[in-house]
Amino acid sequence: MAKSRAQKAVTLEALTQNFKDAVSVAFADYRGITVSQVDELRKKMRAADVRYMVAKKSLVTRAAKDAGYDVDAKQFDGMIGVAFGISDIVAPAKVFGDVSKTTSLQIVGGVFEGTVVGKEKMVALSKLPSRQELLGMVVGTIYAPVSAFVRVLNAVREAREAGAPAPEVAPAVEAPAAEVATEVAPAPEVVEAPVAEVSEESPAA
């Protein structure tokens, strides 16, 4: 069913605003995907803080130009879905890339760091870790020593409860102490005060 002029105006306004709000944009041809796959795609988009819209290529082109991007959506094959990344610059390409592994959806281009880029660039971006995944890696790195220490404590406790000798724990590495001189400095020479000479003769009575 064809959209009315008023509906097209609303869609154009939403597209334009999304182009302005987005930190990155990805375009994909969604031909051939099923209704359930579309529902799953939208679910993944919401979870990644990505806004997803489907519109005619003419509206996408006009909205992009109104937002300052020289995009010609007519160059893309198929039916175009647009993903707008709001907080994660990799998320739009990442979600499209994940969905394309199990569906017929294909990435066809996008906008990255303010520049219109081709399919190859967006496909490469789709293979990078997402912001959440990177944060998980950082947290895992921070807490790795703590978790190792907890495992050692648990091993000691379990060994004691079982009546077995506790496993050896590697001693903590101490910072090197300041170098101490090996030679002992000679003690300072002690100068004795002269003792008054005492006469051997007894004093006169």
Query: Cα 131–137–141 angle (5° rounding)?
Result: 145
Cα–Cα nearest to 18, from 126, 92, 75: 92
Lookup: tokens for 96: 């499209």
Q: Which helix (H) or strand (E) holds 52?
A: strand 50-54
Q: What is the pLDDT of residue 12?
A: 96
Q: What is the pLDDT of residue 151?
A: 66
Residues 94, 133 contacting (CB under 8 angstroms): no
- Is residue 179 one of the residues assigned to a domain? no
Give the whole-angstrom CA distance, residue 84 versus residue 70: 16
95-141: pLDDT as tens digits:
999 999 999 999 999 999 999 999 999 999 988 865 555 555 445 54
153 or 139, greater pLDDT: 153
The verdict on 26 and 45 lying in the same domain is: yes
Return the SS3 of 156: helix
pTM over cut 0.75: no
- Is residue 36 one of the residues assigned to a domain? yes
- Is residue 171 one of the residues assigned to a domain? no
The verdict on 48 and 104 lying in the same domain is: yes
78-98: pLDDT as tens digits:
999 999 999 999 999 999 999
Cα–Cα nearest to 41, from 85, 90, 81: 81
14-36: pLDDT as tens digits:
999 999 999 999 999 999 999 99
The count of other CB atoms within 10 Å of the CB of residue 11 is 18
Q: What is the pLDDT of residue 16?
A: 97
CATH of the domain at 49: 3.30.70.1730
- Is residue 184 one of the residues assigned to a domain? no
The verdict on 22 and 118 lying in the same domain is: yes
Q: Where are the alpha helices (DSSP H) in the chain?
A: 5-21, 35-47, 57-66, 91-100, 119-126, 131-161
Q: What is the pLDDT of residue 184?
A: 46
Note down the domain range covering 116: 5-128
Beta bridge partners of 29: 80, 106
The Cα-based distances of 163 to 14, 151, 157 in angstroms read: 70, 18, 10
